[in-house]
Amino acid sequence: MSDLLFDRIALIGIGLIGSSIARDIKALGLAGEVVISTRSPETLKRAEELALGDRYTTSAAEAVRDADLIVVSVPVGSSGLVAEQIAPNLKPGAILTDVGSTKASVIAQMAPHVPEGVHFIPGHPLAGTEKSGPDAGFEGLFRGRWCIFTPLPETDEAALGRLRNFWIALGSKIDEMDPQHHDKVLAIVSHLPHIIAYNIVGTADDLETVTESEVIKYSASGFRDFTRLAASDPTMWRDVCLHNKDAILEMLARFSEDLAYLQRAIRWGEGDKLFELFSRTRTIRRSIVQAGQDVDAPDFGRHALDPKA
């Protein structure tokens, strides 16, 4: 199937997310040409071996020349540097977007470098795994998943429509939020779970009375789920923590308070309190599973194309 949306797309960063986007663009025939750029020559060589694009360069500035869509998929702490490097070569009318897990900080880093006439539309696909690098990506990663845009007030509607159509072609459902709200929502549904996972696996590793081999040997499925998240990329998650500091600290404060309530209920044998909380949380899981079943439905997440684009 071929459904050309852009003549030339430049992908800056070709790890799990960038390479998944590249695979979908190719499979769906969404671009006339795909130019791939990443900092390290080894990663770039691997992207070429995997035939993820049409041209390859370690220079982000070279990659974006004449590109109609530029997707920046690098750790959030590097977004400002990338924006500064590519700014002089961005074509007027081009759409510049990113996939970073935090939004207010990415906007603060990138927006000052974006030349007038270039449409900067920050985005965040809520899809991923604990793996990283170009080999970790796969076709269909974004199918049935949300992609959240945090457009700036002056964002051009036609450009927004074109970017919407791009993500819709990848199978995503689109939502819009202001960046601060995005960062709060993601702090609780994504950033805190990862921090808790890093912490619990770290605690297990530090125990003097339980050996590491016992942790590995007897790890029950609950602990295994945490180890998957705790295997996520250290650079990416260091950057997320540092670049969504306020929202994460706010959620951690709430979390610690609620944990203290639980701790107290256990100490004083208050079974009714434990039962009430565990019943309440069970209904949330059931709602998620219900929505999750829809993810597997063939048309889940497919939206009609935006007629304004």
Ligand X SMILES: O=C(O)C(=O)C[C@]1(C(=O)O)C=C[C@@H](O)C=C1
Report the partner that residue 133 touches, choosing among ligand NAD, ligand X, none (CB closer than 5 to 8 A by kind). Answer: ligand NAD
Contact indicator for 119, 95 with CB cutoff of 8 Å: yes
CA 211 to chain centre: 35
* Closer to ligand X by Cβ: residue 108 or 210: 108
Establish if 302 lies at the interface with ligand NAD (CB under 6 A).
Answer: no
DSSP annotation of 54: S
**Which two three-digit tokens encode residue 78?**
């590097």
* Closer to ligand X by Cβ: residue 131 or 273: 131
- Percent composition of the chain: helix, strand, coil (DSSP 3-state, to 5): 55, 15, 35
Residue 18 — φ and ψ, nearest 5°?
Answer: -60, -45
**Which two three-digit tokens encode residue 126?**
């809520």
Radius of gyration of the chain measured on its C-alpha atoms: 21
Count, residues near ligand NAD per rule CB under 6 A: 30
**Which two three-digit tokens encode residue 254?**
């709430």
Establish if 39 lies at the interface with ligand NAD (CB under 6 A).
Answer: yes
**Which two three-digit tokens encode residue 309?**
């684009």
Q: Which one of residues 10, 233, 247, 301 is an interface residue with ligand NAD (CB under 6 A)?
A: 233
Establish if 82 lies at the interface with ligand NAD (CB under 6 A).
Answer: yes
* Least Cβ distance, residue 185 to ligand X (angstroms): 11
* Closer to ligand X by Cβ: residue 79 or 101: 101
* Least Cβ distance, residue 213 to ligand X (angstroms): 26
* Least Cβ distance, residue 201 to ligand X (angstroms): 14
Q: Which are the contacts of 195, defined by CB distance < 8 A and separation ≥ 6?
A: 241, 248, 252
Q: Which one of residues 5, 10, 68, 73 is an interface residue with ligand NAD (CB under 6 A)?
A: 73
Q: Which one of residues 22, 99, 110, 247 is an interface residue with ligand NAD (CB under 6 A)?
A: 99
* Least Cβ distance, residue 228 to ligand X (angstroms): 7
Report the partner that residue 190 touches, choosing among ligand X, ligand NAD, none (CB closer than 5 to 8 A by kind). Answer: ligand X
Establish if 229 lies at the interface with ligand NAD (CB under 6 A).
Answer: no
Establish if 105 lies at the interface with ligand NAD (CB under 6 A).
Answer: no
DSSP annotation of 36: E
Establish if 236 lies at the interface with ligand NAD (CB under 6 A).
Answer: yes
* Closer to ligand X by Cβ: residue 67 or 110: 110
Show the beta-strand stretches assigned E in 80-195.
95-98, 119-121, 123-125, 146-149, 173-176
Q: Which one of residues 22, 28, 36, 74 is an interface residue with ligand NAD (CB under 6 A)?
A: 74
**CA angle 269–194–285, rounded 5-degree value:** 60
Residues lying near ligand X in the complex (CB under 6 A)? 101, 126-130, 190, 232
Beta partners for 55?
35
Rounded Cα gap, residues 208 and 308, in angstroms = 62
Residues that bind ligand NAD (CB under 6 A): 12-18, 38-40, 43, 60, 73-76, 78, 81-82, 99-101, 125, 128-129, 132-133, 233, 236, 240
